[in-house]
Copies of this chain bind each other. A is one copy, B any other.
Amino acid sequence: MPLINKLQRLYQNSKMAKKLTSRSENYSQWYNELVMEANLAENSAVRGSMVIKPYGYALWEKMQRVLDDKFKETGHENAYFPLFIPKSFFSKEASHVEGFAKECAVVTHYRLKSDGKGGVMVDPEAKLEEELIVRPTSETIIWDTYKNWIQSYRDLPLLINQWANVVRWEMRTRLFLRTSEFLWQEGHTAHATQIEAVKEAETILDVYADFAENYMGVPVLKGLKSPNERFAGAVETYCIEALMQDGKALQAGTSHFLGQNFAKAFDVKFLNKENQLEYVWATSWGVSTRLIGALIMAHSDDNGLVLPPKLAPIQVVIVPIYKKEEELKEISAQVEKITKELRKAGISVKYDDRDTFKPGFKFADWELKGVPVRLAIGPRDLQNGTVEVARRDTLEKEVLRIENIAEKVENLLNQIQKNIYQKALDFRENNTFTVDTWEDFKNQIEKGGFVLAHWDGSSETEQKIKDETKATIRLIPLNQDKEAGKCIYTGNPSQGRVVFAKAY
């Protein structure tokens, strides 16, 4: 074998998708390998920070576009607030300081200088009078700003969102799920009445749930957090929770009714219609790149990613099957026609005509990357006017005639979108359990899934359950059935069941 071919073979092997560890073998390793091998993200040279690679970022852009449109449809505008927050701001809201002024990146100096040895050192003379905190969330700086923007009821509601990076120092990180820096959106709204603010928090919860279910294909429960799990500074935290394939819960988005807490902390009052000064009512809400982690863990399998068609950066990949150059030429001409038709129908298509890789490699590669539909075309297909169509979710193949191919593919994409949602929903329903005794509770929590159980409503009980089982109350269902019962832990009376689970 000539050297150049040998080198090429070596290179191909190095690029070759390693077979992933299976989910049953080691779920967490499967996840890490998948994120890396599918080119979504990787760890960076900065401990705890990730690099989001082009394919992962394309997924995030798709998510951003859908969410941003929904925010705008519901009357919100985007703005941008500073990355840095003066340290003293964090002390202004009593419970917020407890929750957020902890694992933060702190800027203490504003200049480097030469160390005289070819390197650089921090200039000790450039010390800041007041340290700056890299935002872990922006309530404080934003409410400090709103103070100047709000005087009258006519300035309300103020409905603002920001797309930004935030930093919360983490010691144990996992790509997308928990990193020191992550990307997110944070909405911060101001209202004249409590009712309006509560309604806003609920509207956004619906936007999040709609996005999770109808775009990500991930079914979610909607509910309220218990006081222990509430956002630091919130009166009430609404959340959506999804169940991952390993039986652990993942909080996919939160929307907070903040009452007048931040308005009081930053002295934001308005003149109401009755000409009286009143504190403003607030909400805040966010989802982050963590959603990508949820998406991966909800649908993917041992062959790789399974992406919902509505968010897949590439919806259809086309692979030519050929031996001779002339064959490729003829196939490519056919592919061009098909591609044109598909794009006209708004479908994103990639033609993989790389000559350095064999079809088998390409099939595995696009399976790993979760492209919903794969078309393969060979010389016989040209003769017969057909194309082989494979769907990623079920791995089923069929040979179709190329007439009306765009319509056929569109239908298939819709089917896949529905199917992966249904599969995830079936999984959740099969993994939701109702238990009434402490023994059953402990056993079930150990096995995984959502566990519906009675709880006496005390934070102390919740903490003890967590200490003993690692389970937390994921949510108190919004549409909780009123049902008298006894707390599984204390036996004290309870008005209804809440959802417990171990969580990410």
Question: Which B residues are CB-close (under 8 A) to A107?
Answer: 105-108, 134
A50 near B: Cβ within 8 Å? Answer: yes
**A102-153 CB contacts (< 8 Å) to partner B:** 102-113, 118-120, 122, 131-134, 141, 144-145, 148, 151-152
CB-based contact A131/B122 at 8 Å: yes
Dominant SS at the A interface? Answer: mixed
Question: Which B residues are CB-close (under 8 A) to A102?
Answer: 111-113
**A172-186 CB contacts (< 8 Å) to partner B:** 181, 183
Interface residue from B3, B51, B81 paired with A82 (Cβ < 8 Å): B51
Known contacts A78-B57, A78-B61, A101-B112; is A87 also within 8 Å of B120 by CB? Answer: yes
Interface residue from B61, B83, B112, B167 paired with A49 (Cβ < 8 Å): B83
A195 near B: Cβ within 8 Å? Answer: no
Known contacts A107-B134, A110-B106; is A54 also within 8 Å of B79 by CB? Answer: yes
- Min Cβ gap A7→B in Å is 6
Known contacts A14-B151, A111-B104; is A51 also within 8 Å of B79 by CB? Answer: yes
CB-based contact A108/B109 at 8 Å: yes
Interface size class of A (residues with CB under 8 A): 35 or more
CB-based contact A44/B104 at 8 Å: no
**A58-96 CB contacts (< 8 Å) to partner B:** 58, 60-61, 77-91
- Min Cβ gap A39→B in Å is 10
Known contacts A122-B106, A169-B111; is A154 also within 8 Å of B101 by CB? Answer: no
A165 near B: Cβ within 8 Å? Answer: yes
Interface residue from B50, B78, B112, B120 paired with A54 (Cβ < 8 Å): B78
Q: How far is the CA of A85 from the CA of B51 in the complex (A)?
A: 12
A52 near B: Cβ within 8 Å? Answer: yes
CB-based contact B86/A46 at 8 Å: yes
Question: Which B residues are CB-close (under 8 A) to A133?
Answer: 112
A53 near B: Cβ within 8 Å? Answer: yes
- Min Cβ gap A321→B in Å is 21
Known contacts A46-B132, A110-B104; is A81 also within 8 Å of B154 by CB? Answer: no
- Min Cβ gap A262→B in Å is 15
Question: Which B residues are CB-close (under 8 A) to A151?
Answer: 11, 14
Known contacts A111-B169, A120-B90; is A152 also within 8 Å of B11 by CB? Answer: yes
- Min Cβ gap A189→B in Å is 12
A 237-267 to B, binary, CB cutoff 8 A, 1 in contact else 0: 0000000000000000000000000000000
A405 near B: Cβ within 8 Å? Answer: no
Interface residue from B3, B42, B120, B181 paired with A97 (Cβ < 8 Å): B120
A 298-336 to B, binary, CB cutoff 8 A, 1 in contact else 0: 000000000000000000000000000000000000000
CB-based contact B46/A119 at 8 Å: no
Known contacts A54-B160, A78-B58, A79-B52; is A105 also within 8 Å of B84 by CB? Answer: yes
Q: How far is the CA of A108 from the CA of B126 in the complex (A)?
A: 13
CB-based contact B131/A85 at 8 Å: no
A356 near B: Cβ within 8 Å? Answer: yes
Q: For the complex of A and B, list the 10 residue pairs with the smallest distance between their C-beta atoms, beginning with the closest.
A: A49-B82, A54-B77, A52-B80, A106-B109, A110-B169, A91-B119, A101-B120, A46-B82, A108-B108, A101-B112
Given A106-B107, A106-B122, 20 more contacts at CB 8 Å?
A7-B275, A11-B151, A45-B144, A46-B141, A51-B80, A57-B78, A58-B78, A61-B78, A84-B105, A91-B120, A101-B112, A102-B112, A104-B111, A105-B107, A106-B111, A108-B109, A108-B122, A112-B133, A122-B131, A154-B356
